[in-house]
Amino acid sequence: MNRKQFLILVIVLIVLGGAGLGVFWQDIADYRASGARIGAKLLPDFRIADVAQVRLQDAQDEVTLVNKGDRWVVQERGDYPANFQDISGLLVKLIELKVTQAETVGAALLPRVELVAPE
């Protein structure tokens, strides 16, 4: 390898290293911008005492659990009594939910991650 080839190789390495460093810093900046909420509570103002009903829905089915004073009932089943321990466990878990990863998703990708209202 002669001197000219060596200098071209060093210049190419410097350019590639600079491009790699630029991409690295951009990724770190994106991570820091989204990381401001990581570890924070997902629902900071959520209070169990204020919950009057819980509606669970997927693409095919839906169920509504309603608080009728001293008991929880399934509205679609003629006020059939619901399991209080399961409902209270769900509500406590909702309070404790924390953000672990923040992702920016455009509106076009919402159906892919199942974040649109079922039809």
How far apart are alpha carbons 107 and 37 in whole angstroms?
A: 21
15 versus 26: the higher-pLDDT residue is 15
Per-residue pLDDT at 96: 92
- pLDDT tens-digit map of 17-57: 999 888 888 777 766 665 557 788 888 889 988 999 999 98
What's the CA gap between 72 and 81, in Å, rounded? 6
The residues spanned by each domain of the chain are: 1-34, 48-109
Q: What are phi and psi of 44, to 5 degrees?
A: -65, -30
User: What proportion of the chain, given as a percentage, has pLDDT over 70?
Assistant: 92
N- to C-terminal Cα distance for the chain? 67
Q: 82 near 74, Cβ under 8 Å? A: yes
Q: Does residue 118 contact residue 61 with C-beta atoms inside 8 Å?
A: no
**Helix (H/G/I), strand (E/B), else coil: 56:** strand
Q: Which two tokens stand for residue 35?
A: 């990381």
* In the predicted structure, residue 78 carries a pLDDT above the cut 70: yes
